[in-house]
Structure 1
Amino acid sequence: MTVHQLPAEQVTFAGWLSELAGRLRPGEGWYGVFAARDPEGLRACFDGTELPPWDLVASLLQDLGEPPGGPRAVRGLALHGAAAAAHDRAPDAARTLAARHRQAHRAAADAETRLHHLSATPGPALAWARDDLTRSRARVAELAARMTRLAGTGAAGAAGAAGVPGVAGVPGVVTVAPAAGAAAAPSVAPAPAPPPADSVRPPKRRPRGARYAWLDDAADGPAQAAVPELPAGGAAPRGARFGGAPAAAPVPAPAVAPVPAPAADPGHAARAAGNAVYALRRLRAQGRGGDAHGLLCEALAGPPAWLPVLAAELHRAGLAADWDTLLWEAAALPPARLAAVAGALADAGRPHDRDQLLRQGVARPVAELADACAVLAAEGHDPEAQALLTAFVRTRTPEDAARLAALDPAALTPRLLAAARAVSPSHARDLLHALRVAGLA
């Protein structure tokens, strides 16, 4: 049996988190919600074997009454950042981050759909849907920042090229803390008894637990059983990393933050692409498809200007299917990153790849699409912004297009109408009707 010792930074943060939870009342506030949803997952956070997302920590600080800029919150944020950096030095970190990033994106899309369906029925279910969306968007941003930082250290490429499988969750591997490690984990209340089977609808499979804090399916619609009230103050993420969002507010659209594109170094990009293709071939030959997929996801965390070089190298090597996979994953990138990749493909003379990326990206929440359009326009990529809107109009409903237009009527309404006219006269008529119903035309 292999024994793996936790990094000291993770142990230090786990001790701080345990001390924080020791000051809270079990069964109350957000602490009670997390403990009821996933006692084992929360205990793993206290043990240091699982790093919780910052929004979970911020909610526990909120239970304690700690202000966002208070000394305990500042200390916790610093320790959390150090623990994340230590966690991301593991050989399999890039693959793990990429998988969780995709999961957070899917959760955000699901939460936005739920929020749309519940928008006309104020109450606890609506509040939980807003909480889900706020948390999932915060986690997308947090994971994207960690992926970018990891790519900047060069560890991502090394991990992918080496193809070293990680130890987390592998049978026969035990994770232990160093001697004199974290404080004893606070007791976690057992999950409450489930309600009678006939009082709620059957649950669907969906991520749950303290690490996700997702809404129970009983709160998905107006016919559910009694839905508990959201803990006081809501769950908007707090602290410098999330811009000090207020505790209870309508779900905001993510801030537009263009990703600066590093100066292209053709020689460096070519070497990186060659190394990636070599590593992919070895992984495929060894039957390690999961590691190969992880390597492709890691490439997305690098400079966008390098991706066209990688595309050419993959096609030359007969790995065009891997490029299609990479484009599929790129469609789930944060809005600014998606815009940067689309712009890089356009600048490199790859309009077909750009259009494929944008077509696949239109399934994301409308708020993220509005941000992507704004970033593209700000960086002089108006054709790409219009191509994104055209793909959106072609594949989404007129009502979705009206919701998108409502986020920035002056800029988006005329562009959406132009996109609809380019698709077909019937698309234009349907969109115009939806805009009139929404009071936008």
Structure 2
Amino acid sequence: MVAEQLPDEIREFTDYLRGLLARLDPRGGWCAVFWQRDADGMRACLDGREPPPWDVLEALLQDLAALYGPGAAGAETAHARSLHTAALAAYDARPGARETLTGRLGVMLREQEYAAECRARLNRRLASAITREQADALRLDLTRVHDDHRRATARCAEITARLVALDRAPRWHGGPSPAYDRGGAEQGSPREVPAPTAPVPEQRRRRRGG
């Protein structure tokens, strides 16, 4: 989906996202984390190929608050949410959106389950920690795993809400809905591109071999 083919809602959101990132420090905060962890996913969001989950945008607004004060981020949040909601609706008007969302929901449910298992395991280890250094390291890992679980839970809820909205949307026969067709997008199911991911705890990196 090239820039001139993007529906208005997606183009407006990607323009906003580029402007937001231009005000942030790419070497610090969540902005740096997302670029380091998933540069391809970030580029997909900026190109309009994939919407970021709301928790990613929310984290970037936290970076904005850290740089310019809470008032700056507070004034942005409602506008960002409105643009994000409209962009999601446009993405979900694409052919094959339901299959894409269903597959992604399965992935995020597994991430949520894995984070819960890690949290339980770390809590057991913390209860038997002998030294203060061990306890401090385990608490740090618990903080990371808790963030993973929180983000996975939020993304499951967001994807579920999008699927519910699709169930309630009017059925269009013979082609994509007008919201999607207005942008002149390509025919066929969209290629799924992972959205930026949250930081991964040390335990998960070791289990995956990197």
TM interval, shorter chain, is 0.7 to 0.9
2:94 partner SS:
coil
User: Hey, what's the Cα distance between the residues in 2 that align with 1:63 and 1:56?
Assistant: 11
Q: Deviations over 1:139-169 (max 9, x none)?
A: 011011111111101349988xxxxx83422
Distance 1:107 1:85, change over 3 A: same
State whether residues 94 and 190 of structure 2, in contact with CA within 8 Å, keep that contact through their aligned partners in structure 1: no
User: Hey, what's the Cα distance between the residues in 2 that align with 1:157 and 1:124?
Assistant: 52
**Structure 2 stretches lacking a partner, 5+ long:** 127-134, 176-186
Specify the alignment match of 2:12 in structure 1.
Answer: 12
Specify the alignment match of 2:42 in structure 1.
Answer: 42
State whether residues 35 and 210 of structure 1, in contact with CA within 8 Å, keep that contact through their aligned partners in structure 2: no
Specify the alignment match of 1:400 in structure 2.
Answer: none
User: Hey, what's the Cα distance between the residues in 1 that align with 2:172 and 2:140?
Assistant: 42
Deviation >6 Å, runs of 4+: 156-159
User: Hey, what's the Cα distance between the residues in 2 that align with 1:113 and 1:50?
Assistant: 29
Specify the alignment match of 1:211 in structure 2.
Answer: 196
Specify the alignment match of 1:220 in structure 2.
Answer: 203
RMSD: 2.8
Q: Which one of 148, 151, 168 corresponds to residue 132 of structure 1?
A: 148
User: Hey, what's the Cα distance between the residues in 2 that align with 1:214 and 1:70?
Assistant: 24
Specify the alignment match of 2:168 in structure 1.
Answer: 152
Specify the alignment match of 1:79 in structure 2.
Answer: 83
State the aligned residue count: 177
**Structure 1 stretches lacking a partner, 5+ long:** 160-164, 171-208, 225-441
Q: Write the letter of the residue equivalent to 1:105.
A: L
Q: Deviations over 1:198-255 (max 9, x none)?
A: xxxxxxxxxxx76222515xx118x99xxxxxxxxxxxxxxxxxxxxxxxxxxxxxxx
1:213 partner SS:
coil
User: Hey, what's the Cα distance between the residues in 1 that align with 2:63 and 2:82?
Assistant: 19
Please say if 1:100 is aligned against 2:129.
Answer: no
User: Hey, what's the Cα distance between the residues in 2 that align with 1:130 and 1:158?
Assistant: 45
State whether residues 39 and 210 of structure 1, in contact with CA within 8 Å, keep that contact through their aligned partners in structure 2: no
State whether residues 67 and 73 of structure 1, in contact with CA within 8 Å, keep that contact through their aligned partners in structure 2: no
Deviation at 1:111, TM superposition (A): 0.7
Which is helix-richer, 1 or 2?
2
Q: Write the letter of the residue equivalent to 1:220.
A: Q
User: Hey, what's the Cα distance between the residues in 2 that align with 1:26 and 1:211?
Assistant: 14
Q: Write the letter of the residue equivalent to 2:117.
A: T
State whether residues 29 and 63 of structure 1, in contact with CA within 8 Å, keep that contact through their aligned partners in structure 2: yes
Q: Write the letter of the residue equivalent to 2:140.
A: P
1:70 partner SS:
helix
Distance 1:6 1:124, change over 3 A: same
Distance 1:158 1:167, change over 3 A: same
Deviation at 1:117, TM superposition (A): 1.1
Q: Deviations over 1:351-402 (max 9, x none)?
A: xxxxxxxxxxxxxxxxxxxxxxxxxxxxxxxxxxxxxxxxxxxxxxxxxxxx
Specify the alignment match of 2:62 in structure 1.
Answer: 62
Q: Deviations over 1:103-143 (max 9, x none)?
A: 11111001111111112254322111011000000001101
State whether residues 94 and 156 of structure 1, in contact with CA within 8 Å, keep that contact through their aligned partners in structure 2: no
Specify the alignment match of 1:233 in structure 2.
Answer: none
User: Hey, what's the Cα distance between the residues in 1 that align with 2:73 and 2:19?
Assistant: 19
Which structure has the larger Rg?
1
Q: Write the letter of the residue equivalent to 1:81.
A: T
Specify the alignment match of 2:178 in structure 1.
Answer: none
Question: Percent identity among equivalent residues?
Answer: 36
Q: Which one of 141, 148, 166 corresponds to residue 188 of structure 2?
A: 166
Q: Deviations over 1:1-45 (max 9, x none)?
A: x97822111111011011111111111010010000111211111
1:123 partner SS:
helix
Distance 1:214 1:168, change over 3 A: farther
Distance 1:138 1:6, change over 3 A: same
Deviation at 1:67, TM superposition (A): 6.1
User: Hey, what's the Cα distance between the residues in 1 that align with 2:84 and 2:5?
Assistant: 18
